[in-house]
Structure 1
């Protein structure tokens, strides 16, 4: 069965007026600094009542980001640019083949519950993974979404491990959220070797393709949209 995080949407995350969230998918690899500036501007406009909420799906060129809890010793090999950012969390990797979702929601209209938002983001990812028959899970004391992998060694001995498939890191300003999630579709998993992802040393990372699910980015985007609408309400393509 799927994680309990998928069991039901949190009604407090739904807007009472059912106003749709703008849904944008950007082609190519977006510059990180420019994307962060665009988020900042949009957050200010949402707070001022001058713009609608937005989910922005994109990819970045290879880079590392450091959240407010990042520890210097977790940067093992700065083989790509490192961006210090105000989001929650520690070090993470972004790169081609990874779907990044920047989530700019007005929590003043959605229950004013930051922890509830994080739970909703977890359910969003878990629901999208379920569209491909992948069981995503949340783990106590760990941020993000995980999958449990099992198999047999050549000697016939059973093994099991937990790998991270999606990261979550958000920031909230004046009850408007930004930053968001990253879901590994088909990134180069070796690129994660330059950091300790999210400060967790004892577990690995995986992707849909690594699990044998050869989904395209368009198919992943469609699954994300279906699951998002269940958790947060209607969307409208920009």
Structure 2
């Protein structure tokens, strides 16, 4: 089921110019990628509004533009080539994915700022559940400390920009089967593990995560505005 989120019913002051969508169940990765490709082109042509889409996928490995086949250790699931940056990533049940399709030509035309804003959005939302997370300049993704105290990845980020319209976004591990990450070297980083909110002893449903993320959306969008611009 797909829900076009009502700003009034959800209690968030979300811009009407952006479609805020959440899907229950599992959406096939290839189908979601096709929809992103189509929507990206329509946004660039000013034929459709921007989109933020929250969903989950069946188990799948995705390859970014820097993927090294040597890091595909055990391709037990479908492997999909994507146009996003980065290397191999796993998506599956219990991992909440957010696709962000925004027109940066209406905001700061700054990809680095966009990625930092995504990182900060995830980090702030995780903090609302009591998780201290952080970004590391030479490592892709969102990091925290696992139950042993070691640094571990809790979220992945991968984006693509075409005609200044963004695609892809980020994924956060709520309660996935962490053994599924063993089929790849996640994002090419072999020296650190992967964790989840569940592994940290924190139970968070997809609905709870989505609502918390939406509560932080205004801050995320404000970080993308051109300096000195007044938002309404």
Secondary structure of 1:169's aligned partner:
strand
Partner of 2:112 in structure 1?
Answer: 115
Q: Distance in 2 between matches of 1:183 and 1:71?
A: 23
**Unaligned runs of at least 5 residues, structure 2:** 1-14, 223-232
Query: 1:29 — aligned with what?
Result: 26
Task: Report what 2:3 is aligned to.
Answer: none
TM-score normalised by L of structure 1: 0.85
The one of 164, 181, 194 equivalent to 2:170 is 181
The equivalences for 1:1-238 within 5 A come to: 20-149=17-146, 151=148, 160-232=149-221
Deviation track 1:43-95 (CA, whole Å, cap 9, x = no partner) reads 11111111111101111000100000000100000000000111000000000
- Kept after mapping to 1: 8 A contact 2:147/2:200: no
Instruction: Indicate the RMSD between aligned Cα atoms, in angstroms.
Output: 1.2
**Structure with higher RCO (Cα < 8 A, 6+ apart):** 1
Residues in 2 aligned to 1:33 and 1:215: alpha-carbon distance in whole angstroms: 27
Tell me, what secondary structure is at the counterpart of 2:67?
coil
Q: 2: CA distance between counterparts of 1:149 and 1:35? A: 31
**Partner SS, residue 138 of structure 1:** strand
Shift of 1:150: 5.8
Question: How many residue pairs get matched?
Answer: 208
Moved over 3 A (4+): none
8 A contact 2:119–2:142 mirrored in 1: yes
CA deviations 1:104-151 (Å, max 9, x no partner) are 000001110001100000001001101101111011200111002465
Measured in 2, the distance between the counterparts of 1:138 and 1:20 equals: 30
Moved more, 141-150 or 104-113: 141-150
Q: Distance in 1 between matches of 2:82 and 2:102?
A: 19
